Structure 1
Amino acid sequence: MKPNVLLIMVDQMRADCLSIAGHPVVDTPNLDQLARDGALFTNAYAATPSCVPARASVLTGMSQTSTGRVGYQDKVPWNYENTIADEFSKAGYHTQSIGKMHVYPTRSLCGFHNVILHDGYMHYNRFKFNTRTIESADNADDYLNWMRERLTGNVDLTDLGIDCNSSTVARPWHLAEELHPTNWLTTQSIDFLRRRDPSKPFFLKMSYVRPHPPFDPPSAFYDMYRDLDLPDPSIGDWADTDDQAREGLSPITAKGLVPKQRLKRAQAAYYALITQIDHQIGRFLNAMQEYGIYQNTIILFVSDHGEMLGDHNLFKKSLPYEGSANVPFILADPGNLLQMKKNTKVEEVIELRDIMPTLLDAANIAIPDSVEGKSVIPLVKKEKNKNLIWREYIHGEHTLGNQSYQCITDGKEKYIWYSQTGEEQFFDLVQDPKELRNLINVAKYEERIHLRREQLIQELKEREEGYSDGKSLLSGKAARPTLKHALS
């Protein structure tokens, strides 16, 4: 029997929010154990760090250039020839997705045999004035209907009064803990273990919406953090500290000076949501042991992108900085099926497009030619090939209005070019992991900056936007979230 494969994905979790990664406050005992049962990749990135483009790379194993998703845009159909679920299905696996998909149409299976869906608050399904949508919240969200079956009144996802994209406003969950979407997802996943076809191995994707806002942890978890001395956000010498427009007072701000106590409550709730997820992962791992399948399952834990959480007076995601783009990535092998070197940290730079080839490789399934990612399994073998050649860097980007950018990083240094303004930044991530000092004009780094700039020029020279002529970077070209081939 081939191994079962479990992909646990969370939404908007920073890479540094793990006990095993050295966070001074966040407690993640079950994720720590998964890392001890496998490998923690310290330089894992979302090349395009927001939900839609990140998940496109996870499902297809392709770069953002090939998926055509170089920014955030809803309601663009997902028409990809090869997906990770489809490959597992064709190989005889029972495939199931539970939780967030964030695809279009919203109920597209994308190769899974079945999807039990909770995408959170999907605006194009929710807005009451949008009568032309082909879907609605009632048929798109299984969690919302499940909750309404158990409660009286017209309960909704917005009852707490917190916006689904606020990274600064928080309050505890107001209902029983078992009704929280995090617990619901785990309950549904355990039920899959009961209902699955026992004659087949399974590929299960558990996709939690949290710690993405709203920041609404149950009180038991919020109480763990609310009175602690929480770490202050990192503020670089390049950060904008002038907030004359008082943008930080907005409940859904992306930048600005947020009142201190409001920010501390948001931090506490964000960390609490992570610990809640960790406990629920522990609950599911216990269920796997009860069903006798834990030792025959390969487990990969990852987030689609991070959260700035006030670093450099910035919030949310989509940015090239570590809080936004660096993601937790753990590959666990409890039963020693892959002959991994366990309880280790891997420094090679990887990205979300590596998930599909990694999991197919773990199951000994052929990897389609369309896949551009690489299996990370050779990096964690007990007998690692000394001649193994890994990638030199990854290319990241995101359209974001005047903040649209392109970047190059190998996890040890990072070059950023803002495509609309021409502004450049360079960070030495070994000496300055919190990106406190922009070194773009420091002579000592001139050669390294030139190398990274040239790499970006070559990455962009064939792109439709005209960012590069093959010799230099050309700023001010129109940036769009979706390339033409994905729209056709």
Structure 2
Amino acid sequence: MLFLISDDLNTRIGCYGDPLVQTPNIDRLAARGVLFENAACQYPLCGPSRNSMLCGLYPDTTGIHGNAQIFRDSIPERWSLPQAFRLDGYFAGRIGKMYHYNVPKSVGTNGHDDPASWELELNPAGCDRLIEEPDIFTLRKNAFGGTLSWYASPRPDAAHTDGMLADDASWVLERCAQRNDRPFFLAVGFYRPHTPYVAPKEYFDLYHLEDMPLFDNVEEDNADVPEAALLSRKKEQEQLTDDLRRQAVQAYYASTTFMDAQVGKVLDTLKRTGLDKNTIVVFTSDHGYFLGEKGLWQKQALFDKVAGVPLIIAEPGRTAGAVATAPVGLVDLYPTLTEWCGVPTQELMQGQSLVPMLRDPSATGRGYSMSMVVRNDRQAKQRYYGYSIRTQRYRLTLWDDGKRGTELYDHQNDPDEFTNLAHGDRKSDPEIAQVIRDLTQKLETERTKGMPASGKRTEYKVGNWNPMLRIDD
């Protein structure tokens, strides 16, 4: 099992139909596997998403709604996905970021990792962390990971953290190939394109500023959107000049293509060692990402561009070059991979197995995915929750059970989510009203399923940086 994950990568990649972003290596992986067209994270923030994915449980059950936390503090008896493989006799190794890391501060460390998940942990740190930070342009002084920041580096791939990750992964795979008496679960967590967008200059040169897309008419677009849906915006990211916006998009694209090149190195090693003949490969991201759409940047929103993720699963001799269109979630990976490999698990599993879709990509599965995010009303000193359900055609989002707003988007006719059908007089249309009722019922069913047996959210620590969780400062 080779599990590859990117950080903050949306679906702006070649195999998902983007005409600009160059990702030839991810594309060739998709050509020999199944691409899940409508995959979603369960919480569009690194820590909650990764803990949910690696536990096979929704965030309300893991108790992780912010960064700088690990599920062992809330559900210590849970086996993580790699731990389940490890308990079944697999060698389990991690290179780079799998659980939450403060980027770039935690690069080169174990971050907020789970030692029980691994036998081997490698934490390289390259020039982007150790040398180049003083050269990085940032919108907020002395801040890199939490805002927009970038740098076109003069140093080669191998000097960067992600380049070192690829080399380390190749080193481990070569040794796995030398002993075929024990299967492996190798997780490789790339840091790009998470901010700061640092990559060798040659990748920046692939993208001309005048070609970078800009998203205008934001006020008109957001006129029918509840305020709660837009609270991920940051002050320094408002009113950016066109030039800065183009530079930010260029840097994100450059970082994406740089990361893709490192994926290619790992896949090349897999083939060179012969491991490609019997290794399942997974590629995904922890959540999507805004690049100026709706006037927003980065994450913590429940629109498709942020909740949606790339997901590709490839196994030798199985379905190749296929597309599964049914909605799925990262929470589904745990039951999928353990079933596929015959690995025993604990009884509680909140995701669905995607094995039927891997055998027949036209299978419909559960028919929807669910994502959530926490918001903070500082004036009222209370938190509230946004939950979103995505079917193949619609996305319904309820803020504070609808008291702070409802959104409904028809992806068949409005794939970019410009028109909120739950706004104003639109929602009184009988067909729209029925869709809202049906999806609200499905959402409530999945929310209940996503809770612990007690019916109450797992307690979590609030001693972390996530401002959406703070009500007392």
TM-score using structure 1 length: 0.79
1:184 and 2:159 are equivalent in the alignment:
no
Q: Is the 8 A contact 1:166 1:213 kept in 2?
A: yes
- Cα gap change, 1:302 to 1:164, in 2 (>3 Å): same
1:72 and 2:66 are equivalent in the alignment:
yes
- More helix by proportion, 1 or 2? 2
Moved more, 197-206 or 54-63: 197-206
How much does 1:36 deviate? 1.0
Structure 2 partner of 1:200: 182
How much does 1:50 deviate? 0.6
How much does 1:255 deviate? 5.4
1:224 and 2:206 are equivalent in the alignment:
yes
Output aligned runs, 1:148-163, within 5 Å: 155=131, 157=133, 160-162=136-138, 163=143
**Secondary structure of 1:353's partner?**
helix
The letter for the 1-side match of 2:66 is Y
Output aligned runs, 1:475-486, within 5 Å: 483-486=457-460
Q: Is the 8 A contact 2:61 2:458 kept in 1?
A: no
Output aligned runs, 1:326-475, within 5 Å: 326-333=308-315, 335-336=316-317, 339-340=318-319, 342-381=320-359, 390-402=365-377, 404-419=385-400, 422-441=404-423, 442=426, 443=429, 444-460=431-447
CA distance in 2, matches of 1:94, 1:77: 22
1:239 and 2:222 are equivalent in the alignment:
yes
Q: Is the 8 A contact 2:357 2:364 kept in 1?
A: no
CA distance in 2, matches of 1:484, 1:66: 5
Q: Is the 8 A contact 1:167 1:266 kept in 2?
A: no
Structure 1 residues without counterparts, runs of 5 or longer = 118-141, 149-153, 242-246, 469-481
- Cα gap change, 1:19 to 1:101, in 2 (>3 Å): closer
How much does 1:372 deviate? 1.8
The letter for the 2-side match of 1:369 is E
How much does 1:77 deviate? 5.4
- Cα gap change, 1:27 to 1:176, in 2 (>3 Å): closer
Q: Is the 8 A contact 1:168 1:258 kept in 2?
A: no
Aligned residue pair count: 424
Structure 2 partner of 1:102: 99
The letter for the 1-side match of 2:192 is R
How much does 1:298 deviate? 0.6
Q: Is the 8 A contact 2:327 2:369 kept in 1?
A: yes
Q: Is the 8 A contact 1:235 1:311 kept in 2?
A: no
Structure 2 partner of 1:472: none
Structure 1 partner of 2:465: none
* Residues 418-469 of structure 1 deviation map (CA, whole Å, 9 limit, x = unaligned): 22952111100121110011111421411101222233344556999xxx9x
- Cα gap change, 1:308 to 1:175, in 2 (>3 Å): same
CA distance in 2, matches of 1:355, 1:283: 24
- Cα gap change, 1:107 to 1:396, in 2 (>3 Å): closer
The match for 1:311 among 286, 289, 293 is 293
Structure 2 residues without counterparts, runs of 5 or longer = 101-109, 225-229, 378-383, 463-473
The letter for the 2-side match of 1:348 is A
CA distance in 2, matches of 1:447, 1:463: 24
The match for 2:87 among 75, 86, 90 is 90
CA distance in 2, matches of 1:327, 1:279: 19
CA distance in 2, matches of 1:389, 1:209: 33
- Cα gap change, 1:357 to 1:450, in 2 (>3 Å): same
Moved more, 320-329 or 360-369: 360-369
Q: Is the 8 A contact 2:352 2:366 kept in 1?
A: no
The letter for the 2-side match of 1:88 is F
CA distance in 1, matches of 2:167, 2:258: 14
TM-score using structure 2 length: 0.81
The letter for the 2-side match of 1:172 is A
CA distance in 2, matches of 1:76, 1:381: 34
Structure 2 partner of 1:477: none
How much does 1:327 deviate? 0.2
CA distance in 2, matches of 1:261, 1:209: 25
Q: Is the 8 A contact 2:86 2:118 kept in 1?
A: yes
Structure 1 partner of 2:152: 172
The match for 1:45 among 40, 44, 60 is 40
Q: Is the 8 A contact 2:62 2:71 kept in 1?
A: no
Q: Is the 8 A contact 2:4 2:283 kept in 1?
A: yes
CA distance in 1, matches of 2:269, 2:278: 14
- Cα gap change, 1:291 to 1:448, in 2 (>3 Å): same
The letter for the 2-side match of 1:46 is C
**Secondary structure of 1:203's partner?**
strand
Q: Is the 8 A contact 1:168 1:262 kept in 2?
A: no
- Cα gap change, 1:202 to 1:362, in 2 (>3 Å): same
Q: Is the 8 A contact 1:211 1:270 kept in 2?
A: yes
CA RMSD of aligned residues (A): 3.2
- Cα gap change, 1:6 to 1:305, in 2 (>3 Å): same
The letter for the 1-side match of 2:172 is F
* Residues 37-93 of structure 1 deviation map (CA, whole Å, 9 limit, x = unaligned): 011101100121111111111211112222122x32424552342111111112221
CA distance in 2, matches of 1:209, 1:313: 25
How much does 1:411 deviate? 3.7
How much does 1:235 deviate? 5.5
